[in-house]
Amino acid sequence: MSETRHTKVLIIGSGPAGYTAGVYASRAMLEPILVQGIEPGGQLTTTTEVENWPGYSEIQGPDLMVNMEKHARDMGTEIIGDIITSLDTSARPFKAQGDSGTVYTADAVILATGARAKWLGLESEEKFKGFGVSACATCDGFFYRGQEIVVVGGGNTAVEEALFLTNFASKVTLVHRRDELRSEKILEDRLMKNEKIEPLWFHEIDEVYGSEDPKGVEGVKVRHTKTGEITDLPCKGVFIAIGHAPANELVKDVLDTHMGGYVVTKPDSTETSIPGIFAAGDLTDHKYRQAVTSAGMGCMAALEAERFLAEED
């Protein structure tokens, strides 16, 4: 039988934004409910070392997120393993349908659904997803011990993934469509010094090819972005690291979005175009997309939700 749970503040998402919102909303005695979604802990659970979270010169991403979950729980956030499948913002209280059957009603909602990996959109990429094509080096790198691997992209994620994969691979080719990385300088330096990594500038993936039985990647065809020349690059693994898109499915038809789907918030605020709905973290941030900025926005959202509810009272 389906259950209905009412809360003053419903937090959707369990990344740095969601857990920080949980800490602040709990300390404001709002007794928040936080629904974790399909990826408890969010994107940082898919990486290894995090070196820019203040207070730690180095901490493993999954450990940091376990700490944040504990912190939110200790402060009084009720954390629920469920996925919100739809959100009705047309009337108050807002109504969120959980995949478990539970309906969550809330006086205010903090959206912290973050972002998800982007794919190239090739048919052959789709065909070999899970059979040599991956978007998570920490999850799948181990399977490529002693093999040649291709990483696609030129941002922080691609460079970190390439570096991490040298722990397993005999060689990593970083395929980038320009000859300039957009990653942090410190990461670029590490990449350039690593003898196992070879950058391939001005190239894009044209096709992933492989065997049928057993199903697996055998290589990629890469295209020179200027000359159009196609080259064959044999490899066993292809890691796509070309950025992330905001996870806006719950609200894309009701809230204003911009810059490829990021939820618009008012200047210096997490308020959205619907009073009582706040948005924080990578869902709203096309610019910084960092754990610490997401956490900061989670804090802002909880403080703004508290003020909103107090004014309503």
Q: Which amino acid is at 284?
A: T
- What residue 250 binds from ligand FAD, ligand NAP, none (CB within 5 to 8 A, per partner kind)? ligand FAD
| 178 is a contact residue toward ligand NAP (CB under 6 A) | yes
Q: Say which residues have a Cβ less than 8 Å from residue 24's Cβ, sequence separation at least 6.
A: 298, 299, 302, 303, 306
Query: Least distance (Å) from ligand NAP to the CB of residue 46?
Result: 10
Residue of 26, 239, 287, 278 whose CA lies nearest to 138: 239
Contacted by 37, from ligand NAP, ligand FAD, none: CB < 5 to 8 Å by type: ligand FAD
Structure tokens at 72: 């939110």
Q: Is 213 a catalytic residue?
A: no
Task: Report cis status (omega within 30 of 0) of the bond before 214.
Answer: yes
Q: Which of the 8 DSSP states describes residue 264?
A: P
Location of structure tokens 């898919």: 46
| Residue 100 is a binding residue for ligand FAD (CB under 6 A) | no
Min dist CB 293 to ligand FAD, Å, is 7
139 as an active site residue: the answer is yes
User: Which residue, 239 or 308, is less far from ligand FAD as judged by CB?
Assistant: 239
Residues 273-292 that bind ligand NAP (CB under 6 A): 289-290
Q: Please tell me which residue in 74, 139, 179, 256 is annotated as part of the active site.
A: 139
Which residues between 29 and 88 bind ligand FAD (CB under 6 A)? 35-40, 42-44, 46-47, 50, 52, 83-84
Determine if 270 is a binding residue for ligand FAD (CB under 6 A): no
Name 81's Cβ contacts closer than 8 Å, sequence gap at least 6: 36, 40
- Beta carbons of 243 and 176 less than 8 angstroms apart: no
204 touches ligand NAP by CB under 6 A: yes
How far apart, in whole angstroms, are the C-alpha atoms of residue 34 and residue 21? Answer: 9
Alpha-carbon span 171 to 266, nearest angstrom: 47
Active site includes 235? no
- Nearest by Cα to 175 from 116, 86, 117, 235: 235
Q: Does position 187 bind ligand FAD by CB under 6 A? A: no
> Residue 252 to residues 89, 113, 248: CA-CA distances in angstroms?
12, 12, 5
Please give the size of the binding site for ligand NAP, defined by CB under 6 A.
20
114 binds ligand NAP (CB under 6 A): no
Task: For residue 155, state whether it binds ligand NAP (rule: CB under 6 A).
Answer: yes
Give the C-alpha separation, 172 to 181, whole Å. 16
Q: Residue numbers of the site for ligand NAP (CB under 6 A)?
A: 52, 120, 152-158, 160, 177-178, 182, 204, 241-244, 289-290
Q: Residue numbers of the site for ligand FAD (CB under 6 A)?
A: 12-18, 35-40, 42-44, 46-47, 50, 52, 83-84, 112-115, 157, 160, 247, 250, 281-283, 289-292, 294
**Catalytic residue positions, numbered:** 136, 139-140
